[in-house]
A and B are shown apart, each in its own frame.
Chain A
């Protein structure tokens, strides 16, 4: 597969997973949360300083449609991750010369 097609395809898959499939993710507690609840140390958890962020818990503040809210949050996350990675790689690459 040629480069452009490969990366376009890969990015599309990531966007579909984060933007569409994410709505169908299990809402059960993850392994660590479950263990913390069962054993009883879940109460020691504190809210993160970013817990009031407009994107906290993969939902966009003010969008009540859950499907839209989590999907857009996922797409924003993919773009933010990709952008951060692009900038870091460029920065590191430059320092090399």
Chain B
């Protein structure tokens, strides 16, 4: 899912970077109020866990692998604002130190994973949990569904960027179909890792789980 340099032209990447910067800036502003002594260490732990998790590519089909995005996972555990911040730090470290994801493509990647991935996963989590009436199993099912959906949705965000500024000459619908299909499979792995992790925290420290105390305000 990490876009290398060159796939998407510079104007589109710059536009995505501006959107990403705005989104992350807003997230920082909103997360500020939540950074008390209790929440702050979990945000740090979530960021290192997402970094570690993203190193583990799992096979999904012949010759294809996928890895955790962590957007829904982070949003359920620490809230969407802190999650956007945590994932942005992970993506920046990956691009700067490990050449994973391009430098000019960093804005595209931050937009897809730290903003779109986080918020799509979180919105779906809230809706599912509300529908299932806020039990602990509703929290886990919501995490699973949100995590699952966030992956093909982030892939869709890439497909839109490619349609706007892709350097290749492929029909947007072809790119979308291939990306969406492949990432549906990766979404299953995302759901499994997210549910196991949220479940483990819920079992040991339910008081720390942000999503447990939040009631759905999102309506769409």
Interface residues of A (CB under 8 A from B): 1, 3, 6-7, 10-11, 13-15, 17-18, 21-22, 25-32, 34-36, 38-41, 44-51, 53, 55-58, 73-74, 76-78, 80-82, 84-86, 88-89, 92-93, 95-96
Contact = CB atoms under 8 A, between A and B. Distances in A.
Consensus secondary structure, chain A interface: helix
B32 A96 contact: yes
B23 interface: no
B103 A85 contact: no
Interface in B8-59: 28, 31-33, 35, 40-41, 43-45, 47-49, 51-53, 55-59
Contacts of B220: none
Given A6-B205, A41-B167, A44-B6, A80 B47 contact: no
B14 to A, nearest CB: 16
Interface string B160-199: 0000001110100011001100110110000000000000
Contacts of B63: 28-29, 34
A84 B5 CA distance: 24
Interface residues of B, number: 67
Contact of A57 (B56, B98, B182): B98
Given A25-B57, A45-B6, A40 B170 contact: yes
A-B pairs with lowest CB-CB distance, top 8: A41-B168, A46-B6, A26-B65, A18-B52, A17-B52, A56-B99, A28-B65, A45-B4
